[in-house]
Amino acid sequence: MINLNTESNSSLLQQVQQRQESIFEKLASGKKVNSAADGAAAQQIIDRLTSQVEGNRQSVTNAYDGVSLTQVAESGLSGINDDVSRIRELSVQAGNGILSDSDRQAIQVEVTQLQENISQTIEQTEFGGKSLLSDAGTIDFQIGANAGQKIGVETQDVAASLTDVLNVDLSTAQGAEEALTVADEAAEFVGAARADLGATQNQFESAARNLTQANVNVAAARSRIQDTDYAQATADSAAANILGQASISVQAQANQQQGQVLSLLNG
């Protein structure tokens, strides 16, 4: 009996069909690397780049949280600076020799209110439940996808540094004169603290800009490795279709010839 072998053509047809399925998956997903089977090394690189992209994205959010925190702290210090300036102004007024003790006592009433306002501002200035002006320490923000990439915001015990201004007494001429020096020192401290916060805010904003640009570049690199080239995939699909149709035609002809031979032998 004559045996016509069609196994080779069937194997080719299966390969073509598998190729078509792979191409369809890439076209449907938009990715040329959908699993490690499509390229183990490429998948590892994609995973690392994805981790970096997501880390950078969260770091940008952290950076803007840092900006918000410094703005809140600086706003509190700005209010304190206004109150200190008013205390200094009242100190100058209290140094007027024509004022009586009762006049200075009236001025002191306003100073006391300003001192209470400063204390209240120190206590109530916080961000996310963290005190910004009443405790000395550092609040760290992870700014980057890798360990150690942090920016810290230094917090201060402002009340401890403003003890003198919180206790000035303008009810006497001597107290008014001493208050001028105290107010100047307080204003210098507050100004320096605001400058530090401003510098830190600029650092956060610069980091956010750099991270955003870096993320665009990393995402583009990942896209070049991972994403489907639709033009190439479409061309591959057309070629696979032609090859598949040719294989089917060859298979049909082989089957027909086999049937004819068997018919002759059986005739």
Whether 190 and 244 share a structural domain: no
Angle of helix 230-266 versus helix 7-29 axis, rounded to 10? 160
Whether 149 and 242 share a structural domain: no
Range of the domain at 165: 58-225
Whether 101 and 189 share a structural domain: yes
Tell me, yes or no, whether 38 lies in a domain. no
Tell me, yes or no, whether 40 lies in a domain. no
Q: Number of structural domains, the chain?
A: 2
Burial of 173 (0-12, 13-18, 19+ CB in 10 A): middle
Whether 15 and 139 share a structural domain: no
Q: Averaging pLDDT over each range in 49-53, 98-102, 182-186, 214-218, which range is the top one? A: 182-186
Mean pLDDT within 165-177: 89
Whether 236 and 213 share a structural domain: no
Tell me, yes or no, whether 53 lies in a domain. no
Whether 25 and 94 share a structural domain: no
Residue 4 pLDDT level (bands cut at 50, 70, 90):
very low
The kind and range of the H/E element at 75 are helix 40-94
pLDDT recorded at residue 229? 46
Whether 88 and 187 share a structural domain: yes
Mean pLDDT within 146-155: 92
Of 192, 209, 225, the residue at which a domain comes to its end is: 225
Question: What does the buried/exposed string (b/e) look like for 13-25 if buried means 16 or more CB atoms within 10 Å of the residue's CB?
Answer: beebeebbebbeb
Whether 188 and 63 share a structural domain: yes
Whether 159 and 66 share a structural domain: yes
If one compares 35 and 41, the residue with the highest pLDDT of the two is 41
Cα–Cα dist 19/42, whole Å: 19
pLDDT recorded at residue 2? 41
Whether 125 and 167 share a structural domain: yes
Whether 220 and 235 share a structural domain: no
pLDDT recorded at residue 173? 82
Mean pLDDT of the chain: 80
Tell me, yes or no, whether 1 lies in a domain. no
Q: How far is CA 186 from the centre of its chain?
A: 36
Task: Give the up-direction half-sphere exposure of residue 212: CA atoms within 13 A in the CB hemisphere.
Answer: 11
| DSSP β-bridge partners for residue 97 | none
| Share of residues in the chain with pLDDT > 90 (%) | 49
Tell me, yes or no, whether 39 lies in a domain. no
Whether 241 and 256 share a structural domain: yes
Residue 3 pLDDT level (bands cut at 50, 70, 90):
very low
**How is 7-54 classified by DSSP, letter by letter?**
HHHHHHHHHHHHHHHHHHHHHHHSBS--SGGG-HHHHHHHHHHHHHHH
Cα–Cα dist 72/16, whole Å: 64
Q: Averaging pLDDT over each range in 1-10, 177-186, 230-239, which range is the top one? A: 177-186
Tell me, yes or no, whether 44 lies in a domain. no
User: Among all chains, which residue has been given the structure tokens 């089917």?
Assistant: 248
Tell me, yes or no, whether 252 lies in a domain. yes
| Share of residues in the chain with pLDDT > 70 (%) | 69
pLDDT recorded at residue 13? 52
pLDDT recorded at residue 188? 96
pLDDT recorded at residue 64? 95
The kind and range of the H/E element at 96 are none
If one compares 231 and 41, the residue with the highest pLDDT of the two is 41
For residue 109, give every residue at least 6 positions away whose Cβ sits within 8 Å of its Cβ, in sequence order, or none: none
Task: Give the up-direction half-sphere exposure of residue 49: CA atoms within 13 A in the CB hemisphere.
Answer: 19
pLDDT recorded at residue 31? 60
pLDDT tens sequence across 68-127:
999 999 999 999 999 999 999 999 999 898 988 889 899 999 999 999 999 999 999 999
Strands of 63-215, DSSP E: 126-127, 130-131, 137-142, 150-155
Residue 10: pLDDT above 60? no
Q: Lowest-confidence range among 28-42, 143-157, 213-227?
A: 28-42
| The token pair that represents 86 in the structure block | 């008013």
Tell me, yes or no, whether 247 lies in a domain. yes
pLDDT tens sequence across 224-266:
776 654 455 455 555 555 555 555 555 556 555 555 555 555 5
